[in-house]
Amino acid sequence: MKIAVCVKEVPDTTAEKRIDPSTGRLVRDEGDRMLNEFDKYAVEEAVRLKEAGAADEVILISLGPEKAVESLRQGLAMGADRLVLVSDPAAVGSDYLGTAAALSKVLEETGAELALLGSEATDARSGVMAAALGEASGRAWVTSANSLAVSGGSITVERQSDDGVDTVEAPLPAVVSVTKAINEPRYPSLKGIMGAKKKPQDVKSLAEAGVDAAAVGEQGAKTKVVGVETPPARTAGQVVKDEGDGAQQILDFLIEKKIV
């Protein structure tokens, strides 16, 4: 079985970020970039399944700028076998629909029976891609897996739902997003990091990937940003030193704010 892991390059989570008001898009040339932290759990889970003999190849798939290869290589260093990155100026500005359409096409090309995703990306924070990809690819899909077992042609997942933790079974091929509870991602070894550079890293245009350009990028997007505002930053309120009455002062403040 092959496993595809959808990965994304995101801005460094410790850095301040901004949106360019003229384009409504994230400023991409600032600061450090990294593999989305949530994706590491999906990569780790895929690599563990391979190590356990349940999979024979782990393929990272992504849509993004060409230089994202450098961040995404971390997934190769963790043990994934190869990377397919669709990168094309015409894909810039893709919304969820466009991204799901492109990833679905690439997923199909890899022949992977299982697709794994992180539960969300640290930049967009929407957590919608697994369901969108599940629907776009016509596969069974399960989100927010705290655990994942593959057996025969099906998967068993413990998923974090709104009401608790549910056990869900689904047949392969499937799309699954994983939570941070599923594992503890490894740090790549030096050998892994060195080896990652030699693993196949295919950067494909939309045409090479067989993705319909009309479905992606700005031209395919069904949402458009019409304004970006920078609201005034929160400012410091009242700060008091606890002289034994700190708790009472908080209560008075909450009463004044009509919260309690």
Q: Which of residues 33-52 bind another protein (CB under 8 A)?
A: 37-38
Q: Among 18-26, 52-60, 62-70, 75-83, which window interacts with another protein (CB under 8 A)?
A: 18-26
CA–CA distance, 63 with 71 (Å, rounded to integer): 13
Would the CA dihedral through 94, 96, 102, 106 be positive or negative? positive
160 scored as a contact of another protein (CB under 8 A): yes
For residue 253, state whether it binds another protein (rule: CB under 8 A). Answer: yes
What would the two tokens of residue 36 be?
A: 């989305």
Q: What would the two tokens of residue 178 be? A: 């994983």
Instruction: Give the Cβ contact number of residue 181 at 10 Å.
Output: 15
Among residues 1, 90, 131, 193, the one that binds another protein under rule CB under 8 A: 131
Under rule CB under 8 A, residue 235 binds another protein:
yes
Which residue number, 127 or 195, has a Cβ lying nearer to another protein? 127
Question: Is the Cβ–Cβ distance between 145 and 159 less than 8 Å?
Answer: yes
Does 164 bind another protein (CB under 8 A)? Our answer is yes
Pairing of strands 33-35, 140-151: unpaired
Stretch that binds another protein, among 61-69, 86-94, 168-176, 205-213 (CB under 8 A): 168-176
259 binds another protein (CB under 8 A): yes
CB of 225 to another protein, least distance (A): 5
Q: Does 31 bind another protein (CB under 8 A)?
A: no
Which residues in 101-130 contact another protein (CB under 8 A)? Answer: 122-130
Indicate whether 241 belongs to the interface with another protein (CB under 8 A). yes
Q: Contact letters (x/-) for another protein, 54-93, by CB under 8 A?
A: ----------------------------------------
Q: Region of 205 please: left (phi>0), alpha (psi -120 to 50) or beta.
A: beta
User: Is 52:153 a contact under the CB 8 Å cutoff?
Assistant: no
Encoding tokens for residue 41? 């759990």
The 188-227 site mask, x for binding another protein (CB under 8 A), equals ---------------------------------xxxxxxx
Applying CB under 8 A, the site for another protein has a residue count of 85
State which of residues 75, 134, 185, 188 lies at the interface with another protein (CB under 8 A): 134
CA distances from 15 to 39, 127, 186 (A): 19, 21, 23
Does 186 interact with another protein (rule: CB under 8 A)? no
Query: What is the chain's alpha carbon radius of gyration, rounded to the nearest angstrom?
Result: 21
Task: Dig out the tokens for 257 from the structure.
Answer: 């704010």
Q: In whole angstroms, give the CA distance from residue 6 to residue 1.
A: 16
| Closer residue to another protein, CB minimum distance, 18 or 197 | 18
Strand partners, 37: none
User: What's the closest the beta carbon of residue 141 comes to another protein, in angstroms?
Assistant: 7
